[in-house]
Structure 1
């Protein structure tokens, strides 16, 4: 881990627990213990990769332990929305020309829409989504209703905001406000700040847009410098001077980057405010714990925050792209605004680079897939802007291929033949007893491969062909799949199967000759578990009409029946 260069008080002062700062009353904060990288801005969102419109409260487009994509990506779904994106609890929040929408992350279907809110840059925390534009607006995550709206009466549209430490921090008409996240009331405000210049002169000025939060503090910028504030009281923790104000700040546990006009941008130690270096002015705003990514007219590269382990540069000219650092990889959609005279032509390509040395892992051209500028990365999905549309890109999965080739064929066999003997029976029984029930208990998916079989057999494959469009039209996808099962199966493998129907489809995996009792048992709707029992009672090859094929098969069936009747743990 990088050396923190913390203040000496961190070695002696008692560290605040995660989330502890949020419970400290105004005026009671122990500022000597700040900054503290152990203080998560939003602990309840710690498991989310992209809960705010630029990733998290630091706005750094950085996911420390993100998923590693292999480059074999395809469009899982596409919607005609072009706003910034936040993702939380398998729901995508974004904005449209008409308002704010929540989409099911599994298939892009509409969960809710609010056409009365003219705002953008969604940030999710707790039970609400916070947006800026005019006044700050907080809307309910469940139904999109407005919970509160600030009364700051901005003279112009508000700048980007950050949600952290139970507060919403935003600059409006030069004033830095800290609002209470639960009701929008003003916790504190700072109209101006004084920064001491390098020659000892004190410079007072208003704030410029774009605060960020990390390490238990809020970072904000004036015309003459960057400051770190106690989010509970507004007390200054440290300040550092620079020559002109900018448009935004980006923060991680180790560094703060100032997005300034000019030829070079400074970045600072997040704990002390001391200067660490300069980077190129283009494609900025991507900052990790180890490095800063940026571009100039004659190269695109990485600058180490400490040392030189992450220093590298691509030999490209007039090529830009705002990246995301996820895990060990840099993902960036490159575009060139003029001729590229370097060795690598990355114009209109989604590229994965090793974050340590910049070596290419894979590329995906716009000619081959609907790629574009990255709006978010969450779990196993990359959300991109492709010609004004929001596209969810996911890797092809074995379940998708099996559902189209193998499982679909098996489903047709069961539909046509009713019952099968020999090896076919053993395969079907094994899948039902071992895989189907295990998957249902673990993640609610009831096994996507088996679900594909069942849907093909019972529904004629209609779900496979129309799940996305139909769910978007009538909302049924959200009522069944999202609410009941949490879309665990869809999120895991990128499938658009409706998990909400998996249990009901699983109820009918047996033959058409199932008894009335078996049908009743399968109809309990217990996410496919009872459906599996129903399927066991109607074992292929052992129905009233056919009897036992042979003594050996009968014994084998009885053994399996005893196993199936064992009480579930």
Structure 2
């Protein structure tokens, strides 16, 4: 495995980091390393009520051509034997990289650890065929008693992309691989970029370059593959269809891969969309937030995530979109957070430069530099509590990335290798542990994550129980 420094360099310079370079990391996997926060920790100003901004004239919505359809046969490989391993526990509740359709990072049935958990197993990502490709797992998801994760090969400039990449299903108890699905492209013989996977029903969806694959969750065989006009950056299956962010477009497909609707914009769309009670919310790289009818694709409104007066802080791209209660909350590349009501009216904004957004219905949580975590009231933006993990508050490298929440615990990781749990009601520290972790997923039986340094998938349980 490569060092963290080289891995970060490959992410920054390589073709496989194209989505991040565009300013919209849909799975937020690089949030703890991206320079989206002020390197100098500062006191957080009070959230500011905002007036409605002027609609941006740059984003337009037009129908595009229907995606080219490519049916595929199931792979020839048989489902691997599990050598008599005990059946997987029904670990459920995290089918999308940020938990659910709302991107809230919350599992009400998530496991609660009263003390620091023990690493039960770790799984190595698929091996690379060359030293110039660095393997890592993308964001894991948990559904129906299995763990699914895309195995990605990261590479730098002037290096040929890999011939294939992989989607894996793992036994949550043992960490053993249940099946492997190869992501290939016979047209040019390489697969440059893959998305984080997402599960819904009996299928697991994953993007590979400009193709969307629907894979049988039980067997690892292909249901269908669709070719799109643009690269698939984000896959977000919902009750209202399979939502895709593809370059400069947002698309919604039926469960069989047929087109429902699509809109093309004048800005890059790479942030993971969020489904609310009424609308599908989409963020774009030009600071726009848009609300669509998920059934028809009609746009209800568009607003700019920007302060009503004064100088804009830069970092326009919308990185995160979350729906919580009566609010839709977005975080821009600058780290500034903006909250809107369901009609698109701005309610408050916070210039404190957060990293990631997590919501449990009562509170909105953001990570900051210096190991700081802040909880706010999503309705008003008023601060509920603030906590600092560790004592090196002046170290900007100690950023806290996207956290995950159960009803009784908030889990997160500091970039210096500290995993922690806080009480959601008052922010008090329950425990900390030294471990390398990011891209967390919270199941009902265990906590999962990916090592930042080695790209390996990990499972933590109470006392190391499987």
SS in 2 for 1:396: helix
In structure 2, distance between residues paired with 1:207 and 1:145: 32
How far, CA to CA, are the matches of 2:216 and 2:340 in structure 1? 36
Q: Deviations over 1:389-437 (max 9, x none)?
A: 111111127xxxxxxxxxxxxxxxxxxxxxxxxxxxxxxxxxxxxxxxx
CA contact (8 A) 1:132 1:159 kept: yes
Query: Which of 442, 446, 452 pairs up with 1:381?
Result: 446
> d(CA) in 2 for partners of 1:278 and 1:95?
34
The 2-side partners of 1:74 and 1:254 are apart by: 38
Task: Please state whether the residue corresponding to 1:99 is helix, strand or coil.
Answer: strand
Aligned-partner Cα distance in 2 for 1:287–1:320: 19
Gaps of 5+ in 2: 1-90, 126-136, 153-164, 185-190, 307-315
Q: Which residue of 1 aligns with 2:169?
A: 102
Q: 1:86 aligns with which of 141, 153, 158?
A: 141
TM-score (norm 1): 0.53
Q: What residue is the counterpart of 1:145 in the other structure?
A: 221
- From 393, 396, 399, the equivalent of 2:463 is 396
Q: Superposition RMSD on alpha carbons, in Å?
A: 2.5
User: Quick one: higher RCO (CA 8 Å, sep 6+), 1 or 2?
Assistant: 2
Higher strand share: 2
Greater per-residue helix proportion: 1
Counterpart CA distance in 1 for 2:368 and 2:202 is 41
Counterparts of 2:319 and 2:379, CA distance in 1: 25
Note the residue ranges of structure 1 that are not aligned, 5 or more in a row: 1-46, 193-204, 336-346, 398-493, 496-569
The corresponding residue for 1:230 is: 293
Q: 1:105 to 1:295 in 2, by over 3 A?
A: closer
Length, aligned pairs only:
323
1:311 aligns with 2:366: no
* Post-superposition offset of 1:207: 5.3
The equivalent residue for 2:429 is 360
Give CA deviations for 1:346-397 in whole Å, capped at 9, x if unaligned. Answer: x42211111222211111123xxxx522521101201122332111111127
Q: State the match for 2:251 in structure 1.
A: 177
Displacement, 1:191? 2.0
Given that 2:148 and 2:197 are in contact with CA atoms closer than 8 Å, whether structure 1 keeps it comes out as yes
Question: 1: distance between equivalents of 2:345 and 2:173?
Answer: 42
**Residues 356 and 214 of structure 1: is their aligned pair in 2 closer, same or farther, counting only changes over 3 Å?**
same
Structure 2 residue corresponding to 1:260, chosen from 332, 354, 379: 332
Instruction: Give the equivalent residue in structure 1 for 2:279.
Output: 217
Kindly state the Cα deviation for residue 231 of structure 1 after the two structures are TM-superposed: 0.9
Q: Which residue of 1 aligns with 2:236?
A: 162
Task: State the match for 1:284 in structure 2.
Answer: 356
- Please report the TM-score for the alignment, with normalisation by the length of structure 2: 0.64
Instruction: Specify the alignment match of 1:552 in structure 2.
Output: none
Q: Name the structure 2 match of 1:67.
A: 111
- CA distance, structure 2, for counterparts of residue 248 and residue 150 of structure 1: 26
Larger radius of gyration: 1
Shift of 1:234: 0.9
Distance 2:333 2:441 in 1: 25
Asked whether the equivalents of residues 63 and 326 of structure 1 are also in contact (C-alpha less than 8 Å), the reply is yes
Match of 2:53 in 1: none
Q: CA deviation at 1:275?
A: 2.5
2:116–2:431: 8 Å Cα contact kept in structure 1?
Answer: no
Cα distance in 2, alignment partners of residues 139 and 296 from structure 1: 37
